[in-house]
Structure 1
Amino acid sequence: MMDELREAIEKLPERGAKSYLFHILLRVHLLNNSVDSQEEILELLNDIQKRILFYSQERKLEREYETYHIVCGESPAGALKVGLSKENKVIGYPDFFSNGPLWKLHEEEGRKKRLEWLMDHINMHEDYLEMRYERKVAKALEEIDSIPAGKPIVIWTADNADEQTGLRYFLHLLRNKENNVHVINTAQSYKELFPAKKHQSILRHSGEAAPEKLKMMLENHLGSPLSAEEKNRFVSDWQSLSKTREVLRIWEDNEIHSVPESYFDESIIESAKKLHKSNKGFIKSARLIGEVIGHLDEPIGDGFAEYRVRSLIYNGILAIKGIPKSMRYYSIKLKEF
C-alpha cells in the first residue's frame, strides 16, 4: 500500500499536490482544535488518500486527444461533449467570471478569497462551495495544466464579461505552453452562420448554443491560431484584471469594464414593477429573477441576481415573505405596491 501511495503522490501535478496538502493541514488544524470528532477527521483524511490513489489510476486511463477545448461553465461544456467527436477533450471551468473577485485568482490566495466571497454572498449550499466547487475548480486547473505539448487548444468565448474574462484567464494559465491556441467567439460565429430572423434574439452566452450548432461553429470558424503578440495582449489584460477588487464586470465596446455591484439593481426594480402590473401582491423571487435574467443583454447568473434581490430587501426597497435561503423559499414585492 505504501509503495502504491508513494507512486501516486509522485504522479500528482504540483497544483494538485498543493491542494491535497492544504486539505490535510486543514484537517490537522481541526483535529488540534477539536472542531470535529477524531473519527470524522480520520474519515476525511482517509478520503483524501483514496482520492490521491484514484487520481493516479485515472491518469493511467487518460489518453491523449487530438484537440483540447476550454469553455466557461459546465452547461456549454456538456453541449460541446455531445456535439464533438470523441477525439476532442472538453474542459469546462465551473465558475462564472462576470461576478465575484478576480484578485490574484491565478494563485491559491486569490482562489481562497473568491471562495470566501461566494460563501458570504451567493446562495449556494455550503457543502457544495467547500467541497464540490473547490474540487471541480482544482480538477479543471489540473486538466488545463496537463494538456500535452503540440496539441491544438480551442478556447470558446462570446460577447459577455464571463467568457471574455475566462478567455484572458485561460491564456494566462497557458502562457508557458507553446501549443497553438484558437479562439471561437460563439456570438459572432452564430450571427454569421445563422442570420437573425425578425424577433430572434442574439446568442448571449456559449451555453445558449445547441450541440450541433457548436459543431458547425468549430467546422466553419476555427481560424488561425493566436499569434504570440495576441496571446501576450490577453495575458496582459488578465494581469490587470487580477489586480482589481471590484466584484462585477460587464462587456461593453469590446472591453471588460468593472462596475458597482448595484449596477443591475434598477433593472431588478423595473422588472418587479412590470410583474406588479398583473400581480399587486407578493411575487416568487425565482419568477422575478427569471424575468431579470431573460431581458438582460449581459448574462449575470441567477446567483448574483438573487444576491442583489436580497440587497434590495436589506435596503428597504423590497418587502419579503418567507426565508431567503434560496430563491425558491421566499417571495417579494416592491414596498410602494
Structure 2
Amino acid sequence: MRDILAIKKATDSLGEGELKPYLRLILAKIKLIKEQEGTLEAAVTELIELYDELMGLQEKKAVWYPMPACTHVHIVVGDSFAGSMKLALKGLGWAETHKLITLRENYPIGPLDGLDSPEGRKARSNWFRDNITEAFEAYTEFEEEYNELLDKLEQIPEQAEVIVWTCGNAWMRHAIYLMRNKRNSISVWDACAVCEELYNRPDAFINHRHSGEIPTKKLQEALVRIDGSGKLSIADFTRVRQEWQTISEQTGVLRIWQDNEVLTVPADYYDQYLMEKLDDLRTHVGDNGFLKSARLIGEAIGYCEQYIGDSYFEYRLRELIS
C-alpha cells in the first residue's frame, strides 16, 4: 500500500505539461509490446527505466526544502503555484538561497474542524474518502503530508526571511499559525494583487482567481519588488493566528472568500449554479440529449468567481443525479 501511495504522490506532484509526455511514452511502449515489435525484455526494461525516472523526481524536489544556509523561504498554496514559483526563482538565479514549502490542502472544501489534531484529520479524510472520487487512502496521505509539512517548517533556519504568499484568501493563516513557535521575520504578499497592480491597464486587465494562474514572468516581477512593507507585526501575527483558530472551529464542508473573510456556506451552495450552467450548455448537447459531465464541470470552473477545484463540482453533480 505504501508503494501505491508513493506512486500517487509522484504523479500528483506533476503538472499537466509534465504528466502527458510520460503517459505518451508509456502508451507507446505498451503498443510495441502489444504488436510484438522488438523484444519483450527490451520494452519492459524501458518501462522500468521510465518508472525509476518518474519516482526519482520526488528526490529532485527535495532540493527546494529549507536548508541551513538559505536566506528566504517562500510558503505557497498548491502545486500549480509552487511550480511557477520554482521557475521564477530559477530564472532570477535565486534557487540556491530561496527555498519553498507547499501547502497542498484544498482548504475551501471538506471539514476543517480540528485540522491540527489527529481526530480532526481523521474526520476530514473520512469525508474525502466518502465524497471525493480522487481520494485514496486519504487519512494515511493526510497524516504523511501534515507531518512532512511540520518537518519542513521546523527546518527553516532562524536567519531566513519567511514570505507567505496569498491571493485574496485566508489559507495563508494556517501556515502562520503553524509557525507560531518560530522567531523568523514573516511577510505576507498577495501574488494576484501585486501582478494586477503591475500589469493591469484600463483597456487590458486580468483578475486572477488564484495564484496558480499567474505566469512565471509576471511572478518574477513580483518577486523583485518584495520589500519590508508586508512584514507582520506582533499584533498582526496574533490576529492572524486567532483568525485561523476561528476558521478551524467552523463546521461545514464548503467555504468561500467574501468581503475579506471566510464564510461557511451550505454544501449545496453551488447546486443551482450547476443547473444554470447546464441550461447554458443545452444548445450544444449531442449524443441523444446527453452531455458529458466533464463539459459541465469545466463550464462551472471557468465561470465561477471562487476557485474550489473540479472535485467538489463533480461531487455535487453526483449528489444531484442521486
- Structure 2 length-normalised TM: 0.73
Aligned counterpart in structure 2 of residue 151 of structure 1, from 130, 152, 160? 160
Structure 1 residues 303 and 199, CA gap change in structure 2 (3 angstroms): farther
Q: CA deviation at 1:61?
A: 11
Q: Matched residues in 2 for 1:246 and 1:152: separation?
A: 35
> Aligned ranges for residues 252-263 of structure 1 at < 5 Å?
252-263=258-269
> Which residue, out of 121, 127, 131, partners 1:117?
127
SS at match of 1:277: helix
Structure 1 segment 148-187 matched on structure 2, within 5 A: 148-160=157-169, 164=170, 166-187=171-192
Q: Which residue of 1 aligns with 2:114?
A: 104
SS at match of 2:263: strand
After superposition, what is the alpha-carbon deviation per residue over 1:272-318, rounded to whole angstroms, capped at 9, x for unaligned?
Answer: 1111122161111111111001101110111111111111111xxxx
Alpha-carbon separation, structure 2, partners of 1:198 and 1:279: 35
Distance 1:293 1:67 in 2: 34
Among 270, 273, 287, the residue aligned to 1:267: 273
2:98 to 88, 98, 121: 88
Tell me if the contact between 1:119 and 1:126 (Cα under 8 Å) persists in the aligned partners. yes
Q: Where do residues 223-238 of structure 1 align in structure 2 (5 Å cutoff)?
A: 223-224=228-229, 225-238=231-244
Q: Do the aligned residues in 2 keep the contact of 1:196 with 1:202 (CA within 8 Å)? A: no
1:309 pairs with one of 314, 317, 320? 317
Give the counterpart letter for 2:315 in structure 1: Y
Q: Deviations over 1:121-166 (max 9, x none)?
A: 1111524x35555433332231123212231101010114xxx2x2
CA contact (8 A) 1:153 1:179 kept: yes
Shift of 1:76: 0.7
Q: Distance in 1 between matches of 2:155 and 2:236?
A: 23
The equivalent of 2:23 in structure 1 is: none
In the alignment, structure 1 residue 139 sits paired with structure 2 residue 144: no
- CA RMSD in angstroms comes to 2.4
Sequence identity percentage:
36
Is residue 211 of structure 1 aligned with residue 216 of structure 2? yes
Structure 1 pair 199/309, CA: closer, same or farther in 2 (3 Å)?
Answer: farther
| 1:254 positional shift | 1.1
Q: C-alpha separation between the residues in 1 aligned to 2:195 and 2:144?
A: 33
Aligned length: 254
Residues 107, 263 of structure 1: alpha-carbon distance in 2 compared, 3 angstrom cutoff = same
Q: Report runs of 4+ in structure 1 exceeding 4 Å deviation.
A: 60-63, 130-134, 196-200
- 1:169-206 Cα offsets, whole Å, 9 max, x none, are 11110111111101110121122011156474311101
In structure 2, the residue matched to 1:332 is none
Deviations 1:83-130 (A, max 9, x none): 112121111111111111111112222122211111111111524x35
One-letter identity of the residue aligned with 2:160:
K
Assess, with a 3 A threshold, how the Cα gap between structure 1 residues 61 and 286 changes in structure 2: closer, same or farther.
Answer: closer
Structure 1 length-normalised TM = 0.70
Aligned-partner Cα distance in 1 for 2:200–2:135:
41
Paired position in structure 1 for 2:69: 64
CA distance in 2: counterparts of 1:306 and 1:61, whole angstroms: 36
Report the alpha carbon displacement of residue 264 of structure 1 after superposing the two structures with TM: 1.2
Name which of 260, 283, 292 aligns with 1:284.
292
Among candidates 229, 232, 247, match of residue 241 of structure 1: 247
The 1:301/1:180 distance shift into structure 2, 3 A limit, reads same
